[in-house]
Amino acid sequence: MLGKTADGLFWMFRYLERNENTARLLDAGFRIALTRAADAENEWASVLTTVGVKQAFQEKYERMETAHVIDFLLRDPSNPSSVMSMIQSARDNARLLRTALTRELWSATNECWLTLRELMARPVRERELPFVLSTIQQQNALLGGTLHGTMMRNEIFNFARLGTFLERADNTVRILDVKYYLLLPSVSLVGSSLDNVQWETILRSVSAQRSYHRLHKGDVRPREIANFLMLDLRMPRSLAFCYSKIVDNLTHLAKDYGVRQSCFDQAETVFARLTDRSIDDIFESGLHEFIQDFIRDNNALGRQIEKDYRFYG
Amino acid sequence: MADYKNFDEMFGTGEKHREPYRDYHQWLESQDAAWLHRKSDEAETVFRRIGITFSVYGEEEASERLIPFDVVPRIISSREWSRLVRGIRQRVQAMNAFLYDVYHRQEIFRAGRIPIELIAENDAFLPQMIGVSPPGNVYTHVVGVDIVRTGENEFHVLEDNARTPSGVSYMLENREIMLQMFPELFAQINVQAVGNYPKNLRRSLGNCVPRSCKGQPVIAVLTPGIYNSAYFEHAFLAGQMGAELVEGHDLRVVDGRVAMRTTQGYAPIDVIYRRVDDGYLDPLNFNPQSLLGVPGIFDVYRAGGVTIANAPGTGIADDKAVYSYMPEIIEFYTGEKALLNNVQTWRCSEPDALRYVLDHLSELVVKEVHGSGGYGMLVGPTASHEELVAFRNKLEASPGKYIAQPTLSLSTTPILTKNGLDPRHVDLRVFVLVSPEEIRMTPGGLTRVALNKGSLVVNSSQGGGTKDTWVLEE
């Protein structure tokens, strides 16, 4: 397989994962903006920080108006992390590596691009937002289903999955990074209704409200949320889950190629850190430090994969 | 009833359908027009969804466009097809013998059958290829022969494409879409399949491996990249053949082989089906400005370390000035008269011919010898007075750059329009695969159709569309 193709796949699936995450954060933020107008500006600021585009937004707009945030996150071509920019980039990559994709997966990607481009040809009004967000979700689900239903489980699949899970881990840890102060044990003592809404928002932004409540019978506690998002191997967006998948896919590549690359060791080290301690240990040694280390190591792993598998010349 | 002035593939010169169209015509008569239009729209949606597009230079907004597709097929009888096959096979065989001769002993010039100036002053002639024998002595692994028809029994070769002919993906996708839209038609009518083309291309290329190849040949398609107008086709063919799609920057010369950068290091390639022009192949040996190619690839080629298909330097065989000598070329190498006619051609480099062309400019089609894609061409009967004057000046200034041909009354095939069937002019590109074992033609091809009423220009860059092409079983 060409290094260029591995690169294209890895990034195609990072872009796809990121657009879905941006849409999900937008959905959670919009809920706050609708129900608690007074908190809207703060919530939008934290959403923009999570996506990593707050500064870019502020250079363009003076205030955190909902309509502007929606436009910036959904369809602004000057924002490389907007949903539409991500879909465009994913589709550009897919064109480049068409031969590596099944016909079905290429068509689903192209159709996703055509559908969303049409849907977002003009600014999306607030009352249209729920429909647009659910269409984005549907299109992404179609892509995910087509990937699973049609692609061979080989190196092509492995590089695609590495992109997905590296990006997903990045997204979850960014949410934690922005909201970690709400999850500190001391906060649970406060127990105000504001925190409850904030906690629900965190769960909503990782599509885990129902799963969490099912698990904890409606008892919303910051320690449990932190555990759920970081260490729970059953939760498909937790850091531990992402790393178990990253290690799986690197294991397949190592077997397939007969070579264990150094990115493998790096991934295993990070994974061990998510499995060999409890959430209380993490709180004890410092949640903030843990999150910062994770962000750094996750980025480093991405660079090492690119290097080990010769993505560039 | 539409007005069929020219020979029409469906109706001939009369009101009644021709024999090859019997079953199709009967089916068509019983279809509802609105339903056909709906099918036509559906086909367009599918084409857009699967992204069968071509890129257009200099059009920022619509940089990916669909080639319009017409749902009425162009149908060829098996008898007509066998006749074409014989003529094309003979022509392509002669073309390869000519190329070998041009780059070796140059017998045809010594025998005085064609003038040496033809290659001496021709940019398509690659002196670097002198004395180089490509594996299996195959020069043109893939050829596209453009055929036009002017009457029931009159077929002519309009042009040979011996460099990097494109369009075969449209042949395949057009058939695919017709099978999806009108499955019942294919149950009723026995149409020869075209779908084996990628498999045959792979086999054909695999039969031309270099000496260095051990075991199963590794094949790669070399594309100039995503901005090339035929990128879709490059990706399509690589995908269908199970070959890698590479660009110059994926390749490098390693230990005397051409190798591609893979996730496991550099891996050697045996056959490169290249879709970049000669000049861009190798900046060390050809155009030093080119970023598309691979430094040193030509040296590996000369040493027998890789097969390049088509071979460098094949452009000398499809040049329009050389085209005019094809009847002589065929006779010289095969000892037979050409089975398929050329279109009558005046070489403006010859004073008598130039005089005739200047006197009859408004009746003729004048083409640049090295031009392609329908650009830089004068269609006399539809040209304005200013265009004629401008072209006359160009001709007088450098006559050697032009050839002229009569304005042919190309055959028509009906297309589906808002007002029902209406005839439009068509041509046919036949795709030919050449290996040391055989010269093989896919039964079908790409029918290009000039969608503008009365227009003779079928190029997709200038208002042309395509149709599925059926060759009937015997």
A233-283: per-residue pLDDT in tens? 999 999 999 999 999 999 999 999 999 999 999 999 999 999 999 999 999
- The distance in angstroms from the start CA to the end CA of chain B is 31
Q: At how many degrees (to 10) do helices A287-308 and A3-35 cross?
A: 150
User: Any idea which residue has 């002639």 for tokens?
Assistant: B125
Inter-residue contact A110 to B51 (CB < 8 Å): yes
Q: How far apart are the CA of B241 and the nearest CA of chain A, in angstroms?
A: 10
Q: Does A309 touch chain B (CB under 8 A)?
A: yes
**Closest-CA residue in chain B for A258?**
B264
Q: What is the pLDDT of residues A195-219, one digit of tens each?
A: 678 888 999 999 998 999 999 887 8
Check residue B146 and give its pLDDT.
Answer: 96
Name residue B257's beta-bridge partners: B254
Q: Does A257 touch chain B (CB under 8 A)?
A: yes
Q: How far apart are CA A89 and CA A119, in angstroms?
A: 17
Judge residue A197's burial from the number of C-beta atoms within 10 Å of its C-beta, 0-12 exposed, 13-18 middle, 19 or more buried: middle
Check residue B52 and give its pLDDT.
Answer: 74
What residues of B are in contact with residue A310 (Cβ under 8 Å)? 261-265
Cβ <8 Å between B239 and A3? no
DSSP per-residue letters across B168-218: HHHHHHHHHHHHHH-HHHHHHS-B---TTHHHHHHHHHHTT--TT--SSPP
Q: Is the pLDDT of residue A185 over 80?
A: no
Interface test with B, best of A99, A103, A139 (most B CBs within 10 A): A99
Q: Does A152 touch chain B (CB under 8 A)?
A: no
What chain B holds in terms of domains, given with CATH numbers, is 19-114+142-193+411-471 (no CATH), 344-406 (3.30.1490.270)
DSSP per-residue letters across B308-336: EESPTTGGGGT-HHHHTTHHHHHHHHHSS
The residues, any chain, with a CB within 8 Å of residue B94's CB and separated by 6 or more, are: B326, B329, B330, B332, B333, B334
How far does CA B165 lie from the centroid of its chain?
Answer: 4
**Looking at residues A137-143, what average pLDDT do you find?**
96
Check residue A187 and give its pLDDT.
Answer: 58
Q: How far apart are the CA of B441 and the nearest CA of chain A, in angstroms?
A: 25
Q: How far apart are CA A235 and CA A217, in angstroms?
A: 16
Name the DSSP class of B366.
E
Q: How far apart are CA B39 and CA B43, in angstroms?
A: 6
Q: How far apart are CA B20 and CA A197, in angstroms?
A: 74
Cβ <8 Å between A103 and B226? no
Domain residue ranges in chain A: 1-151, 152-313
Distances (CA, A) of B275 to A161, B163, B164: 32, 9, 6
φ/ψ bin of B199: left (φ > 0), alpha (ψ from -120 to 50), beta (otherwise):
alpha
What residues of A are in contact with residue B235 (Cβ under 8 Å)? 95, 98-99
What residues of A are in contact with residue B263 (Cβ under 8 Å)? 1-3, 6, 155, 159, 253, 257, 309-310
pLDDT in tens for each of the 474 residues of chain B?
455 678 999 999 888 999 999 999 999 999 999 999 999 999 999 888 887 776 655 444 446 778 899 999 999 999 999 999 999 999 999 999 999 999 999 999 999 999 998 888 788 899 999 999 999 999 999 999 999 999 999 999 999 999 999 999 999 999 999 999 999 999 999 999 999 999 999 999 999 999 888 889 999 999 999 888 889 899 999 999 999 999 999 999 999 999 999 999 999 999 999 999 998 899 888 888 877 789 999 999 999 999 999 999 999 999 888 999 999 999 999 999 999 999 999 999 899 999 999 999 999 999 988 765 566 788 888 889 999 999 999 999 999 889 999 998 899 999 999 999 999 999 999 999 999 999 999 999 999 999 999 888 888 777 899 999 999 998
Interface test with B, best of A1, A93, A98 (most B CBs within 10 A): A98
- The distance in angstroms from the start CA to the end CA of chain A is 14
The residues, any chain, with a CB within 8 Å of residue B202's CB and separated by 6 or more, are: B219, B241, B242, B243
Interface test with A, best of B221, B263, B264, B273 (most A CBs within 10 A): B263
Cβ <8 Å between A99 and B264? no
Q: What is the pLDDT of residues A50-92, one digit of tens each?
A: 999 999 999 999 999 999 999 999 999 999 999 999 999 999 9
How far does CA A287 lie from the centroid of its chain?
Answer: 20
Inter-residue contact A88 to A12 (CB < 8 Å): no
The residues, any chain, with a CB within 8 Å of residue A15's CB and separated by 6 or more, are: A86, A87, A89, A90, A93
Q: How many CB pairs under 8 A join A and B?
A: 60
What residues of A are in contact with residue B246 (Cβ under 8 Å)? 2
User: Any idea which residue has 């894609």 for tokens?
Assistant: B373
